Amino acid sequence: LVNGVDTAIWMTDGIVPPARRSTFKGVIFEPEHLTGRTNPYTASYFPSVRKFDDSTRGEQNDYSDRPYILFRFSDVYLVAAEAALKGGATLQDAANMINVLRSRAANKAGQTPAQYALALAAQQVTAANVTLDFILDERSRELFAEDTRWWDLSRTGKLVERVKLYNPEGAAGVQPFNVRRPIPQSQIDLVTEGPKYPQNEGY
């Protein structure tokens, strides 16, 4: 693996054939890597999110004073890239915005200049790469687990499409009206004069 480039993790439900393994430039985690299971292939396992952990807490239930991320500067670049894609600038401008973030991501502690150059070259995108789906994928990488995904898919009109494509458990139940959330009944009940405020369609 090349430091700073091959960072993807593939969690599989079986053994990856050698031919496929040789073409995947990342870390492969197979069921047999699970410990403490008589039959690891019957276990459910999921990637863990550690980016919010606070190592300074003495006990699990102690309060944390680690700052909570409300908004990232990288989000500004991604919003600008999306605006460029939608006509606010050129596709090359959008690619340039994304490449600012990828240049930062390519820089890892302990790299040599040669390793950074290799990582940087491998991660750069061109105008031809930029689509709405690409930007959404980039947002999922940059803002992973930061509570933005539903909003991103809803506002871009991609929620139903993406759920049907990538969420087998949710595909059968997702409906077009799910692009909006239900209004709490307690809020609707606050309207005491005039016409009753309507609930969002489907709820």
Q: Give the residue numbers spanning the domain of 123.
A: 73-146
Please check whether residues 175 and 138 belong to one and the same domain: no
Residue of 51, 66, 28 lying closest to 141 (CA atoms): 51
For residue range 73-87, what is the model confidence (pLDDT) as tens digits? 999 999 999 999 999
Classify residue 200: in a domain, yes or no.
no
For residue range 30-87, what is the model confidence (pLDDT) as tens digits? 877 776 666 655 556 666 777 888 888 888 889 888 888 888 999 999 999 999 999 9
Please check whether residues 81 and 128 belong to one and the same domain: yes
Classify residue 16: in a domain, yes or no.
yes
User: For the chain, how many structural domains are there in total?
Assistant: 3
Classify residue 165: in a domain, yes or no.
yes
Classify residue 54: in a domain, yes or no.
no
Classify residue 1: in a domain, yes or no.
no
In the numeric block, the tokens 């599989």 are attached to 12
Please check whether residues 164 and 130 belong to one and the same domain: no
- Residue 124: partners with Cβ closer than 8 Å, 6 or more residues away: 99, 102, 103
- The pTM score is 0.75
